[in-house]
Amino acid sequence: MSPRIALLPDSVINQIAAGEVIERPFSVVKELVENSIDAGAGQISVEVELGGARLIRVRDDGGGMSREDLPLALQRHATSKLRSLADLAVLGTLGFRGEALASIGAVARLTLTSSEHGSSETWTVSMQGSADIEGPMPAAHATGTTIEVRDLFFSTPVRRRFLKSERTEFLHIQDWLRRTALSRPHLGLSLTHNQQRVLAIRPALSEEQVARRLEKVCGLAFLRHARPVDAAVPGLAVRGWIAAPAGARNQSDLQFWFVNGRPVRDPRLQHATRLAYGDALAAGRHPAYVLYLEIDPQTLDVNVHPAKIEVRFADTRRVHDFVFSALRRVLRGPDAAPGRALPGDTGGAGPALPSVIAEPGPDYPARLATRATAVEPGEEPPFTVATSPSLEIDKAMVLPGGLIVARAASALLLIDAQRARAALWLDALEGAGDRRATDPRPLLFPCAMAVDEVAADAIERVVDVLPACGVELERAAPGTVMLRAVPAALREIPAQAVLDGVLHAGAETHALPELRQQAILKGIARAGAAALLPSTDTEAVALLRELAGRYGVDAMVCRGLAARVTALDLRRLLADRD
């Protein structure tokens, strides 16, 4: 009887490894460029054809490889970056597994040509599919390395059919190279697609060049609203730039996180960043930032994902809270001083932040002078807000009881913060041009909440319309419900406010599903607004900024969100509350 278990042949092993590491042309470019960076390259050029499906060529001026190293480089688990298991705990390189070139060669036609620094010899090796390595053979090449990858997935045509359009595949490559340009200021990068130069970024070795690189990658609008970030505690540091709320965007295309110089996509870092804005972002707006986290390598695991695009922290909560606190101070504090260094460059401290980056935009807020109509000597300037033709706010102050007094043109307005916030959220939830406002947005950490029998019955009466409201609420135990998603328009609403809104709607008796759905949305908006009343003048101005973009003074007064008052009325109100 033949054994049921057999060792896989090397060709199959290589194909499996390639399936983990090489998902699309972008994966190939990523692995090859990271190897070039680890080799000490100062200039890297990337050429692709047909979105990378036909050709990917990466050339660098790094240290190169010797004749003896070239064949080894194409074998699995062969690397110059690790010598022992202990080295995994203190990784300082982007690549380390030694699987990239072997995996690429298993699914494409790969040619590797290199000339070692200080040597007059150049050698080349090649590999096609899982065939044997050919070479080394003499060649002509300047100091550095060129890797040419042709006909990606030619040996696995099924996987080739899963590639997206040429444009989509190319945009993945372009976006990753933009991230790389931000993470390595000293590095020069070029990208050519179908013989057309698309990207040409020179090394940034001065303050002015750093500013130009940031502008080229992120745009001038980002520079105008960018605030420098620089905070550190033992074992942790975060630096970079984050846009003020006025610099938020309609899409999340300017969100860059780097951990120890490695571009990553980490939901915990993204959540901490979004949370730092509080309710200063209008519905449908996304923050913009270029941020660098520096952390003790021994508390970081970069060996989580085969493509090395995810990381794992030993103390996730500490990292999350540190990032949240650091960014919240920048977003809510006074203007940060210019001249911060650009992190992410392992070659040194990096050039200083040019003053143009730290300059405030037209609606960059300073702190509001407390209870003052004019700035006294030694006081900070008054808080200014973005203006609109219909609602011009130049001063604001929080009063007890959720009221805000604001000066609009020559009039005084008394604004009910809870009603105003609820109205903004209701407009967002009930449409306002975005059909995705009530799409369920999963919570990073599902929230468990205790309920009694009365509350459970109220939830049961409206459970059929909860999905249409963007709420995922399920009975986890007889006395516990689990909130897993909230409406997309209310990203940062407290979980308890969602439950309170649902319970309030469940206590009412509506036969029509449309009325039950409307009652849930109203209840959530009101409960959330009550839970997030502005407590500082900064938070008040953030709310007024949203109102300015949505309503005029007359509309606010008619809807009961605000009332015109005189100075005498205001003094009487303050006297009564005292």
- Rounded Cα distance, 186 and 347, in Å: 8
- Mean pLDDT, all residues of the chain: 75
Contact 393, 548 (CB under 8 A): yes
* DSSP-derived secondary structure letter, 249: B
Predicted confidence at residue 43, as pLDDT, reads: 93
Average confidence (pLDDT) over 338-361: 33
Predicted confidence at residue 417, as pLDDT, reads: 84
- Rounded Cα distance, 259 and 171, in Å: 23
Predicted confidence at residue 111, as pLDDT, reads: 93
Predicted confidence at residue 278, as pLDDT, reads: 80
- Rounded Cα distance, 111 and 145, in Å: 11
**Which of 39-48, 125-134, 425-434 is predicted least confidently?**
425-434
Contact 402, 533 (CB under 8 A): yes
Amino acid 152 reads L
482 bridge partner residues: 448, 474
- 3-state SS of 61-126? CCCCCCCCHHHHHCCCCCCCCCCCHHHHHHCCCCCCCCCHHHHHHHHCEEEEEEECCCCCCCEEEE
Predicted confidence at residue 549, as pLDDT, reads: 65
| Buried/exposed 530-561: b ≥16 CB within 10 Å, e otherwise | bebbbeebbbbbbbbbbbbebbebeebeeeeb
**Which of 43-57, 277-291, 425-439 is predicted least confidently?**
425-439
Is a pLDDT exceeding 70 seen at residue 519? Answer: yes
Q: Which CATH class is domain 438-488+494-531?
A: alpha beta
Strand residue runs (E) in 330-424? 393-399, 403-408, 411-416
Predicted confidence at residue 481, as pLDDT, reads: 81
pLDDT tens, residue by residue, 222-236: 888 889 898 988 888
- Rounded Cα distance, 345 and 265, in Å: 19
516 versus 243: the higher-pLDDT residue is 243
Contact 301, 311 (CB under 8 A): yes
pLDDT tens, residue by residue, 451-494: 787 788 788 888 888 888 888 887 777 778 888 888 877 766 77
pLDDT tens, residue by residue, 121-157: 899 999 887 667 888 899 988 999 999 999 998 878 8
**Which of 90-99, 124-133, 499-508 is predicted least confidently?**
90-99
Contact 574, 399 (CB under 8 A): yes
According to the per-residue pLDDT averaged within each range, which of 73-77, 170-174, 387-391 is highest? 170-174
What topology does CATH give the domain 207-358? Ribosomal Protein S5; domain 2 (3.30.230)
Amino acid 388 reads S
Query: pTM for the full model?
Result: 0.53
Predicted confidence at residue 575, as pLDDT, reads: 61
According to the per-residue pLDDT averaged within each range, which of 33-42, 49-58, 313-322, 469-478 is highest? 49-58
How many CA atoms are closer than 13 Å to the CA of 426, on its beta-carbon side?
18
Predicted confidence at residue 308, as pLDDT, reads: 58
Q: Where are the domains of the chain?
A: 10-201, 207-358, 438-488+494-531
Q: Which CATH class is domain 10-201?
A: alpha beta
Q: Do domains 207-358 and 438-488+494-531 have the same CATH topology?
A: no
Question: Of all helices (H) and strands (E), which one includes residue 181?
Answer: helix 166-183
According to the per-residue pLDDT averaged within each range, which of 14-18, 433-437, 470-474 is highest? 470-474
Confidence label for 68 from pLDDT (cuts 50, 70 and 90)? confident
Predicted confidence at residue 51, as pLDDT, reads: 93
Q: Phi, psi at residue 114, to the nearest 5°?
A: -150, 150
- Residue 520 CB-density burial (10 A; 0-12 exposed, 13-18 middle, 19+ buried): buried
Q: Which residue has the tokens 């390259």?
A: 41
Pseudo-torsion of CA 292, 297, 300, 305, nearest 10°? 80
Amino acid 507 reads A
